[in-house]
Amino acid sequence: MPKGLRRRYLAFKIVSEGTVTEGELTKALWDAVLRLFGEYGASQTGLLLVEYNGERKYAILRCWHKALELVRASVASITELKGKPAALHVIGVSGTLKALHKKFL
Amino acid sequence: MQGDRDAAMKKFADLHLCPSLRNTDSLKGMINTAYRLGYHFLGVSLPAKISQGEIQELREICNTAGADLVTRVDLTPKTSRDLLNQLRHFRRRFEVVAVTCLSKAVARQAAKDRRVDLLSFPADPRKRFFDAAEGELASKALAALEINMASVLSLQGFPRVRLLSRLRWEAEIAKRFKVPLVVSSGADNEYLLRAPRDFATLSNLFDLPLSSALNSLSEVPRSIVERNRLKLSPGYVAPGVRVIKEGKDCQRV
């Protein structure tokens, strides 16, 4: 990891009519980032889906701390998954996975 | 993360929920979700001819969820005369009066009338009449500009690009003329609701700073509600003048 670059872990809850797979969620996230901020913006996010729990309907993603607001806006802008209405609600943000689990999940 | 800490201390308001009042389950679901997301004041858009009994039922649903119901009416007048008539009939029955301006004449009349709390415009940028003249009138009359995030969320592609560009311009005018901005969901279903912090982040898309956006979701709507509740209270006479005692309560000197 380059010096000075910090990571942020963002947990969010998935509210949707149907079930979604990890791949579909990742695609929806990337599509949202690309739609709102384009390829240049997407390249700055360092977006990665770290954890996905289909049963409890939550997921954790990782991004660079400088791109947190950008990623948060993209997550909030998602209104459908697999063509069905959906909403992703951010539960919390933390600097480490351990703290995120401890505080929010 | 300073924004998160600030957000945790504020009481947030979503002054524009448009649930179907006939479907009680969906209504309860929306109110519960909004409260869980962090909103304390919930403004539900009500039909102008709603009865007091129905409002009371709705108030009970909100109280059960833990939220505070704000009664709101959305007026959509065709002419400025129509607007004046509607204001005369409905101003004292609702805590928040929003006017959806479909023409420039209505927009100008709404901006200069002190009985109007919120100026709302359709999502189509050609039908948004909030310009410098409108901003100047609104700043004198204490009207606020409402931004419905439902249209930002539901539009895609070029229409959203045009809307965001227009909203950026309007936010700039509002700042110049010190017109308060109110950010609300405008949601008609649960899937268009977002947490206040998420709406604040989305407001960044039209260059509204995070702190201003959080204010537009908390202090600004709360002050509108408190001001109107005071005005609608029985003892209110004029700004700064209130009946404290009357009749038998007054002692003879």
Residues of B in contact with A90 (CB under 8 A): 195, 197-198
Q: What is the pLDDT of residues A4-57, one digit of tens each?
A: 789 999 999 999 988 899 999 999 999 999 999 999 999 999 999 999 998 999
What gap in Å lies between CA B201 and CA B50, rounded to an integer?
Answer: 35
Identify the domain containing residue A22 by its residue range: 7-104
Q: Are B159 and B132 in contact (CB under 8 A)?
A: no
What gap in Å lies between CA A51 and CA A53, rounded to an integer?
Answer: 7
Q: Does A84 touch chain B (CB under 8 A)?
A: no
Domain positions in chain B are 2-249
In a domain, A51, yes or no: yes
Residue of A nearest to B193 (CA): A87
CATH code of B2-249, in short, is: 3.20.20.140
Q: Does A102 touch chain B (CB under 8 A)?
A: no
**Per-residue confidence (pLDDT) for residue B217, from 0 to 100:** 95
In a domain, A90, yes or no: yes
Count of pairs with CB atoms under 8 A, one residue in A, one in B: 47
Name residues of chain B where pLDDT drops below 50: none
What gap in Å lies between CA B57 and CA B64, rounded to an integer?
Answer: 11
ipTM: 0.92
**Per-residue confidence (pLDDT) for residue B199, from 0 to 100:** 96
Residues of A in contact with B210 (CB under 8 A): 69
Total structural domains in chain A?
Answer: 1
Q: Does A86 touch chain B (CB under 8 A)?
A: yes
Please give the average per-residue pLDDT across A90-96, as a whole number: 94
Q: What is the pLDDT of residues A49-84, one digit of tens each?
A: 999 998 999 999 999 999 999 999 999 999 999 889
Cβ A93–B4 below 8 Å, yes or no?
A: yes
In a domain, A1, yes or no: no
In a domain, A2, yes or no: no
In a domain, A15, yes or no: yes
User: For B36, left (φ over 0), alpha (ψ -120 to 50), or beta?
Assistant: alpha
Residue of B nearest to A93 (CA): B1
